[in-house]
Structure 1
Amino acid sequence: MCGITGIFDTRGRREIDRAVLTRMNESQHHRGPDEGGLHVEAGVGLGHRRLSIIDLSTGQQPLYNEDQSVCVVFNGEIYNYQELIPELQTLGHVFHTRSDTEVIVHAWEAWGEDCVRRFRGMFAFALWDRNQETLFLARDRLAVKPLFYALLPDGTFLFGSELKSLLAHGGLARDIDPLAVEEYFALGYVCEPRTIFRQARKLPPAHTLTLRRGQPVAEPKEYWDLRFSLASPCTVEEACAQLNDKLSESIRLRMIAEVPLGAFLSGGVDSSAVVALMAGLSADPVNTCSIAFDDPAYNEAVFAQQIADQYRTNHHSETVASDDFDLIDTLARLYDEPYADSSAIPTYRVCQLARKHVTVALSGDGGDETFGGYRRYRLHLMEERMRSAVPHSVRRGVFGLLGRVYPKADWAPRVFRAKTTFEGLARDSVEAYFHSVSIMRGPMRAQLFTDRFRSEIDGYSAQDVFRHHAGRAGTDDPLALIQYLDLKTYLVGDINTKVDRASMAHSLEVREPLMDHQLVEWMATLPSELKVRGKEGKFLLKKAMEPSLPNDILYRPKMGFAVPLARWFRGPLKERVREAVLGPRLAATGWFNQDYLRHLVDAHQSGARDYSAPLWTVLMFEAFLRNVLDAPLDQPAIVAELQGSR
């Protein structure tokens, strides 16, 4: 795994400042501490930081074709590179390394922009073709690897694996995009392709961007999308057998490495399934890593140990204090834009632990989206059955009224907490799902923001992101639709972002076999009842793994990877929350209603309401303002901090 960055003069051949390019490259030193390299010529500069995984001796980057007219910097892994090499050799291409990176330059020469369709893996790369005067950028299908870019007013094009490399250039304006702020406070992250800065963008999943010298910058072009046919006629038994084969193949491909390799093991279904199959593919014991918590309500260590014992893994576990909240400013500097998933804290810690023992770790990320594991999926399907029984005009009137007048009762038994259900039934499917996944729902955001801010977003709602994707989903199946929405939003903006930044902070490569695009495509051919059946999510995965995993692992309630925010904000973080949320930095923006912020703090700390998730969202936005927006140009602190943490 690596970090890439670069500068391209879209208008001509202006000299690239090597010192600036070096500064951009070194801002991502944590992503690739083993080696660094630059390519500089008239109007073009490419930078690379390397974490050596495959072809340790000759895989340095930037990497070139035979006559050095094509140059690439690459972050990720092409898992099928060993299959592509002979095919490219028959076309006359000569390989000088054993690395997957060299496949990219020859695939570009052979197939042009369509080369990405041949790659199976996680990747973000930039390729310069001198003969065609073309810069080509690409990102993998499910956006496991990040890629940011910006076009400056003078025609200078910047790109990088992290926003900090663009900021290090010095020419990127730090003007915040108010629409990104609306998305952040709704969802806890800024959705692709937007970033927190007006001038910068994320290359969306499964997109390429082609820039030609002297020509206007084109829009990104999509090369893949997921289609839910749901039409496979196979039985449960046949599907289980095929799933085992496909999972085993995906894991086998991701076990190719020339450095120590292991897996995260939480004790949940997804990571346990990955470890079980790894054990069957490895002649040596699998290295496994897990985090234990000193608070029993958040601790799954006993289940992780059960799987470790069953498969005799080399298991490494560390206990994290439930008051492990010292990472707030570190996370703000690491993520570069507001990011509000508090599970970033234990994710950071488990990556820190894993890096002590391995350089590559397989994870179970993507299992909930692929196999239908989220509890919210089951609740949404229940609501959909009720919505389908009553016309929308009637539902909006009756249930909308009930939702407005029914009291919110977080303290009450679940059977009496009907307000959210009533509100959901009054909405259409997309609106209801957006509402269910929002951290701060519409009425809360209406109170949070000032009139000044609302005028700046001019009626925009983060719900528009969901509407856009729903219009392209190509399915009316209730489960398939929300799986598609999650693949385009939550998986990319939250899960993959969290894992990439947390792992690369410790120079750890994480591979996600449950996000293999061929596996995801195959799962999309299966009927939804093979994913969610009754009250059981991940139905097919659990059935397939019954011979390999005990029932108390497969069928126990899902815990998640959480931290005790509610208790923190009433206890050890009480004053810090109050100072940050009601302090001068947020007030200086003019965007937030100070009376409503005070209500959030007072109501939570008095125990009247649980506002822990909204407060964490506000807290992390304030940390972003202090640590990123107000930071010096080259941001040296985060590099030194991450190096010191190892």
Structure 2
Amino acid sequence: MCGIFAMTSHIDKSVMNEVLDSMKHRGPDEGKEVPLEKFHLGHQRLSIIGLEDGIQPIHNQDESKWIVCNGEIYNYPKLKQKLEASDVSFLTESDSESALKIYEQYGVEGIKQLDGMFAFFIADEKNNTFVAARDTLGIKPLYYGIDTDGNYIFSSELKTLYLVTKDVHEFPAGHYYTPETGFVCYRRIESPSITEEKVEEAYTSIIHEQLTNAVEKRLLADVEVGVLLSGGLDSSLIAAIAAKLNKSDKPVKSFCVGSEGSVDLKRARDVAEAIGTEHYEYVYTPDELIEAIPKVIYALESYEPSLVRSALPNYFVSKLASQHVKVILSGEGADELFAGYDYMKKFDTTETLNDEIIRVINTLHNINLQRADRMSMAHSLELRVPFLDLDLIQDALEIPANLKLHTEEQMEKTILRKSFNNMLPEHVLWRKKEEFSEGSGALDILENYANEHINDQEFKQLQKEASIELRSKQEALYFKYFKQYYPEQSIFDTIGKWATA
């Protein structure tokens, strides 16, 4: 996990120092800039794979092509083996180099071969061109802009991009960009054509296998990997699978936060004891929660209230985890994939439900995934999301709606629960879903604070200043902080919104 910067021109050393400093939280281990003939590249590294020689930018043998990459290429061992069999030489042990070599061998078509979460920029000096790309779901962030001289700039966060240009846009997930082609969608999630339904046991077997594979894939690292554990179904399953796959002589570390007496803390302890993790927790006070709001909004680059509410506990748990590990697994994406939201009941055919699941998954890049990335990276922690594995998504979309949907007779995500019978205690496996911020005790604290500190007159004034409707005093409070950090109008097009505040 890293922070990247790339530009099709050059900036002064002093500006580049500001650029690198603005990304240091994303990669405190190493920082480097390389001014090339036609490009200027910058990188801040959090070393996860190839610890000794993975500093970026990485170049090819004749230094005609260079890459800056953020994220992880999970299938890099297979790609490397395949390329080396064709006499391709690697200069490092970094997974990021595999993306550069794939581009060298196959051009932009090779991007389809990458399995991972990534955002990268490849400078092709020899051919006077470049390619920028972002993973299928937008798990890793990427933004771009054009300065007043027509130069392209790319970066991992908006705060970095604004140091160089006021023209900012989110790079679309599942796309690559070259000057010759413009934006090209190289992969999208599509609903499978289901010819015949299987028996329920066949689906539970596939889910069990694919989620286990997804977790195993994301345990790939040269550093210790931990788990976020709220005590709910999704995080508990990921933690239990990781604990089962653990090959170390030390137990997997798990992490939870909450306010005094919050249910998350109690439930997480219960699960940790059952699966045998080395468990850590932190109890934050109401004052700490309130004091963190401005820091969270600055890091989050959004004021969307649902996002901020869930980001606050994420901020604290990331801070806690970063004191013990460099990589963390999360249960993000299970509700979307397995129809865990109550409103999805109205999509009662497999076709309409899949359309909605795909729509929601494709919106995660600037809501839940943005929150997960920014809060973990605020503490130099890499967060991985097994439930959003592409193979698992495709298999889950083949499950008929009647096996997924929440009904009076069937709890939400029943098919997922049945897929892991006996892996968790029964009372955990069949526990009802709660919002993270609700279970962690944050919801009431935030609501009361907003109502106390934004009076009706200020609410009306903030409403006038906003280019969009502010739907609650809580949203108005977050907007007030947000405008202090990000006054530029162009940022509003990058903000993802939930239907309700």
TM-score of the superposed pair, with normalisation by structure 1: 0.70
Please give the alpha-carbon distance, in whole angstroms, between the structure 2 residues aligned to 1:326 and 1:79.
Answer: 37
Aligned to 2:66: 71
The Cα of 1:532 is off from its aligned counterpart by 1.9
Over 3 Å counting, the alpha-carbon distance change for 1:66 and 1:96 in structure 2 is: same
Please give the alpha-carbon distance, in whole angstroms, between the structure 2 residues aligned to 1:488 and 1:589.
Answer: 30
Aligned residue-pair number:
479
Over 3 Å counting, the alpha-carbon distance change for 1:58 and 1:592 in structure 2 is: closer
Aligned partner of residue 562 in structure 1, secondary structure? helix
Which of 179, 197, 200 is 1:211 aligned to?
A: 179
Aligned to 1:125: 120
Aligned to 2:436: 561
Q: Is the 8 A contact 1:16 1:41 kept in 2?
A: no
Aligned to 2:161: 166
The 5 A counterparts of 1:49-198 are 49-169=44-164, 172-173=165-166
Which of 623, 640, 643 is 2:481 aligned to?
A: 623
Q: Which has the higher contact order (CA 8 A, sep 6+)?
A: 1
Deviations 1:537-596 (A, max 9, x none): 212211011121122112222111115677446744544222894486x36737589xxx
Aligned to 2:303: 338
Over 3 Å counting, the alpha-carbon distance change for 1:86 and 1:506 in structure 2 is: same
Aligned partner of residue 112 in structure 1, secondary structure? helix
2:366 aligned with 1:371: no
Over 3 Å counting, the alpha-carbon distance change for 1:77 and 1:376 in structure 2 is: same
Please give the alpha-carbon distance, in whole angstroms, between the structure 2 residues aligned to 1:148 and 1:496.
Answer: 15
Which of 230, 234, 254 is 1:288 aligned to?
A: 254
Aligned to 2:205: 241
Name the amino acid aligned to 1:514. F
The Cα of 1:22 is off from its aligned counterpart by 2.8
Name the amino acid aligned to 2:435. G
TM-score of the superposed pair, with normalisation by structure 2: 0.90
Please give the alpha-carbon distance, in whole angstroms, between the structure 1 residues aligned to 2:423 and 2:395.
Answer: 22
Aligned partner of residue 479 in structure 1, secondary structure? helix
Over 3 Å counting, the alpha-carbon distance change for 1:326 and 1:367 in structure 2 is: same
2:341 aligned with 1:496: no
Please give the alpha-carbon distance, in whole angstroms, between the structure 2 residues aligned to 1:269 and 1:568.
Answer: 25
Which of 422, 426, 430 is 1:551 aligned to?
A: 426
Which of 449, 454, 458 is 1:577 aligned to?
A: 454
Q: Is the 8 A contact 1:329 1:627 kept in 2?
A: no
Over 3 Å counting, the alpha-carbon distance change for 1:336 and 1:560 in structure 2 is: closer
Aligned to 2:5: 5
Aligned to 1:359: 326
Q: Is the 8 A contact 2:450 2:477 kept in 1?
A: no
The 5 A counterparts of 1:212-361 are 219-229=182-192, 231=194, 233-283=197-247, 284=249, 285-296=251-262, 299-322=263-286, 324-340=289-305, 341=307, 342-361=309-328
Name the amino acid aligned to 2:357. Q
Please give the alpha-carbon distance, in whole angstroms, between the structure 1 residues aligned to 2:454 and 2:225.
Answer: 39
Over 3 Å counting, the alpha-carbon distance change for 1:360 and 1:321 in structure 2 is: same
Aligned partner of residue 46 in structure 1, secondary structure? strand
Please give the alpha-carbon distance, in whole angstroms, between the structure 1 residues aligned to 2:103 and 2:446.
Answer: 53
Please give the alpha-carbon distance, in whole angstroms, between the structure 2 residues aligned to 1:294 and 1:581.
Answer: 32
Name the amino acid aligned to 1:329. P
Aligned partner of residue 226 in structure 1, secondary structure? coil
Aligned partner of residue 220 in structure 1, secondary structure? strand
Structure 2: gaps of 5 or more residues: 490-501
Q: Is the 8 A contact 1:138 1:209 kept in 2?
A: yes
Aligned partner of residue 315 in structure 1, secondary structure? strand
The 5 A counterparts of 1:392-471 are none
Please give the alpha-carbon distance, in whole angstroms, between the structure 2 residues aligned to 1:549 and 1:570.
Answer: 34
Name the amino acid aligned to 2:475. T
Q: Is the 8 A contact 1:146 1:161 kept in 2?
A: yes
Please give the alpha-carbon distance, in whole angstroms, between the structure 2 residues aligned to 1:590 and 1:616.
Answer: 14
The Cα of 1:322 is off from its aligned counterpart by 4.5
Over 3 Å counting, the alpha-carbon distance change for 1:591 and 1:288 in structure 2 is: closer
Between 554-563 and 491-500, the greater mean CA deviation after superposition: 554-563
Please give the alpha-carbon distance, in whole angstroms, between the structure 2 residues aligned to 1:69 and 1:591.
Answer: 45
Name the amino acid aligned to 2:303. P
Cα RMSD, aligned residues only: 2.3
Please give the alpha-carbon distance, in whole angstroms, between the structure 1 residues aligned to 2:234 and 2:463.
Answer: 43
Q: Is the 8 A contact 2:340 2:406 kept in 1?
A: no
Aligned to 2:499: none
Please give the alpha-carbon distance, in whole angstroms, between the structure 2 residues aligned to 1:592 and 1:55.
Answer: 45
Q: Is the 8 A contact 1:332 1:339 kept in 2?
A: no
Over 3 Å counting, the alpha-carbon distance change for 1:588 and 1:226 in structure 2 is: closer
Q: Is the 8 A contact 1:5 1:158 kept in 2?
A: yes
Over 3 Å counting, the alpha-carbon distance change for 1:339 and 1:567 in structure 2 is: closer
Deviations 1:112-132 (A, max 9, x none): 101221111100000011111
The Cα of 1:17 is off from its aligned counterpart by 2.6
Please give the alpha-carbon distance, in whole angstroms, between the structure 2 residues aligned to 1:90 and 1:571.
Answer: 62
Aligned partner of residue 263 in structure 1, secondary structure? strand
Over 3 Å counting, the alpha-carbon distance change for 1:615 and 1:63 in structure 2 is: same
Deviations 1:269-294 (A, max 9, x none): 11111111112111341111111322
Q: Is the 8 A contact 1:290 1:350 kept in 2?
A: yes
Q: Is the 8 A contact 2:437 2:443 kept in 1?
A: no
Aligned partner of residue 303 in structure 2, secondary structure? coil
Between 622-631 and 73-82, the greater mean CA deviation after superposition: 622-631
Aligned-residue identity in percent: 32
Over 3 Å counting, the alpha-carbon distance change for 1:375 and 1:64 in structure 2 is: same
The Cα of 1:58 is off from its aligned counterpart by 0.5
Aligned to 2:498: none
Q: Is the 8 A contact 1:295 1:322 kept in 2?
A: no
The Cα of 1:615 is off from its aligned counterpart by 2.0
Please give the alpha-carbon distance, in whole angstroms, between the structure 2 residues aligned to 1:88 and 1:624.
Answer: 46
Please give the alpha-carbon distance, in whole angstroms, between the structure 2 residues aligned to 1:256 and 1:225.
Answer: 25
Aligned to 2:497: none
Larger Rg over CA atoms:
1
Over 3 Å counting, the alpha-carbon distance change for 1:40 and 1:281 in structure 2 is: same
Name the amino acid aligned to 2:352. P
Q: Is the 8 A contact 2:447 2:474 kept in 1?
A: no
Over 3 Å counting, the alpha-carbon distance change for 1:114 and 1:553 in structure 2 is: same
Q: Is the 8 A contact 2:206 2:395 kept in 1?
A: no
Please give the alpha-carbon distance, in whole angstroms, between the structure 2 residues aligned to 1:256 and 1:566.
Answer: 35
Structure 1: gaps of 5 or more residues: 10-14, 174-198, 213-217, 386-475, 598-612, 632-646
Over 3 Å counting, the alpha-carbon distance change for 1:565 and 1:614 in structure 2 is: farther
Over 3 Å counting, the alpha-carbon distance change for 1:70 and 1:479 in structure 2 is: same
Over 3 Å counting, the alpha-carbon distance change for 1:571 and 1:372 in structure 2 is: closer
Aligned partner of residue 629 in structure 1, secondary structure? coil
Please give the alpha-carbon distance, in whole angstroms, between the structure 2 residues aligned to 1:592 and 1:498.
Answer: 21
Please give the alpha-carbon distance, in whole angstroms, between the structure 2 residues aligned to 1:260 and 1:565.
Answer: 29
Aligned to 2:27: 32
